[in-house]
A and B are shown apart, each in its own frame.
Chain A
Amino acid sequence: MKFVTKIGLILISLSFANLLENLIFSTISAYYTVNMGFMQDSENWRYGIYVTYLHNRETRLLVDLKESSKIGIIAISQSQIEELLAGDEVPYFACFNFTGGLDKTLGRVDRGIYIFIFDSTNRDQVARFQLVQSGFEFDTLYIDIVLLALGLTLALLPILNHYFKEGLKWTRS
Chain B
Amino acid sequence: MPILRWFKAYFLKQIKNLMRTPYFEIMLLIFTFQASGRPNIHYTISFTSNLTDSFSLKDSVMVLAVQTYFSSISGKIASLYPLIVFFSSILSYLEISYYRDIGFLKTEFSFPVKRGSMYLAKLLASCLTLSILIFSSILFSITINCFKIFQIMDSLSVLQGFLVIFIETLLIALFTSSISTLISFMVKWSGIPLVISISTLYSFEFISLSLRSIIPLFPEGLRIFEEKVMLPTIKGMRFSFSLNSFEPLFPSLLISLIVFFLGYYYVTRRMQIS
A10 interface contact, C-beta 8 A: yes
- Listed A/B pairs (11) with beta-carbon separation below 8 Å: A30-B41, A38-B47, A44-B49, A48-B45, A48-B47, A49-B45, A51-B64, A52-B42, A52-B44, A78-B148, A115-B60
Residues of B with C-beta under 8 A to A36: 45
- CB pair A17 B32 closer than 8 Å: yes
- The residue in chain B whose Cβ has the minimal distance to the Cβ of A49 is B46
A97 interface contact, C-beta 8 A: no
Determine, out of A63-71, A81-89, A156-164, the stretch whose residues face the partner at the interface: A81-89
- CB pair A112 B64 closer than 8 Å: no
Q: What 0/1 pattern do residues 18 to 36 of B give for CB contact below 8 A with A?
A: 0101101110111111001
Q: Please measure, in the bound complex, the distance between the C-alpha atom of A9 and the C-alpha atom of B49, giving whole angstroms.
A: 55
A34 interface contact, C-beta 8 A: yes
| Number of residues from B at the complex interface, CB < 8 A | 49
Give, as a whole number of angstroms, the nearest-CB distance from B29 to chain A: 4
A95 interface contact, C-beta 8 A: no
- With contacts A43-B47, A51-B43 known, what are 7 further pairs, Cβ within 8 A? A18-B144, A47-B50, A51-B45, A51-B46, A53-B42, A115-B61, A140-B144
Q: Please measure, in the bound complex, the distance between the C-alpha atom of A143 and the C-alpha atom of B31, giving whole angstroms.
A: 19
- CB pair B41 A81 closer than 8 Å: no
A13 interface contact, C-beta 8 A: yes
A171 interface contact, C-beta 8 A: no
Interface centre among A45, A46, A53, A90 (most CB of B within 10 A): A53
Which residue from A12, A13, A52, A88 sits with its C-beta under 8 Å from B43?
A52
Give, as a whole number of angstroms, the nearest-CB distance from A20 to chain B: 6
- The residue in chain B whose Cβ has the minimal distance to the Cβ of A40 is B47
Chain B residues with a Cβ under 8 A of chain A: 19, 21-22, 24-26, 28-33, 36-39, 41-52, 54, 56-58, 60-61, 63-65, 68, 136-137, 140-141, 144-145, 147-149, 151-152
A25 interface contact, C-beta 8 A: yes
Chain A residues with a Cβ under 8 A of chain B: 6, 9-10, 12-14, 16-18, 20-21, 25, 30, 32, 34, 36, 38, 40, 43-53, 55, 78, 81, 84-85, 88, 90, 111-113, 115, 117, 140, 143
Q: Please measure, in the bound complex, the distance between the C-alpha atom of A46 and the C-alpha atom of B229, giving whole angstroms.
A: 38
Which residue from B33, B60, B149 sits with its C-beta under 8 Å from A49?
B60
Which residue from A16, A40, A85, A143 sits with its C-beta under 8 Å from B54?
A85
Residues of A with C-beta under 8 A to B61: 51, 81, 113, 115
Q: Please measure, in the bound complex, the distance between the C-alpha atom of A78 and the C-alpha atom of B148, giving whole angstroms.
A: 9
Residues of A with C-beta under 8 A to B31: 17
Residues of B with C-beta under 8 A to A17: 28-33, 36, 137
Q: Please measure, in the bound complex, the distance between the C-alpha atom of A40 and the C-alpha atom of B140, giving whole angstroms.
A: 43
Give, as a whole number of angstroms, the nearest-CB distance from B24 to chain A: 8
Q: Please measure, in the bound complex, the distance between the C-alpha atom of A6 and the C-alpha atom of B65, giving whole angstroms.
A: 35
- The residue in chain A whose Cβ has the minimal distance to the Cβ of B55 is A85
Which residue from B50, B56, B148 sits with its C-beta under 8 Å from A111?
B148
Q: Please measure, in the bound complex, the distance between the C-alpha atom of A46 and the C-alpha atom of B51, giving whole angstroms.
A: 9
- CB pair A53 B49 closer than 8 Å: no
Which residue from B43, B49, B57, B152 sits with its C-beta under 8 Å from A46?
B49
Which residue from B19, B25, B49, B144 sits with its C-beta under 8 Å from A13?
B25
Interface centre among B43, B63, B145 (most CB of A within 10 A): B43
Give, as a whole number of angstroms, the nearest-CB distance from A133 to chain B: 9
Q: Please measure, in the bound complex, the distance between the C-alpha atom of A115 and the C-alpha atom of B152, giving whole angstroms.
A: 14
Q: Please measure, in the bound complex, the distance between the C-alpha atom of A44 and the C-alpha atom of B26, giving whole angstroms.
A: 59
Residues of A with C-beta under 8 A to B136: 10, 14
Residues of B with C-beta under 8 A to A6: 19, 21
- The residue in chain B whose Cβ has the minimal distance to the Cβ of A25 is B38
Q: Please measure, in the bound complex, the distance between the C-alpha atom of A117 and the C-alpha atom of B30, giving whole angstroms.
A: 41
A52/B47 contact (C-beta < 8 A), A9-B21, A14-B28 known? no
Which residue from A14, A38, A52 sits with its C-beta under 8 Å from B41?
A52
Q: Please measure, in the bound complex, the distance between the C-alpha atom of A51 and the C-alpha atom of B58, giving whole angstroms.
A: 10
Interface centre among B25, B28, B64, B141 (most CB of A within 10 A): B25
Q: Please measure, in the bound complex, the distance between the C-alpha atom of A23 and the C-alpha atom of B64, giving whole angstroms.
A: 27
Which residue from B22, B24, B26, B64 sits with its C-beta under 8 Å from A53?
B64
- CB pair B36 A21 closer than 8 Å: yes
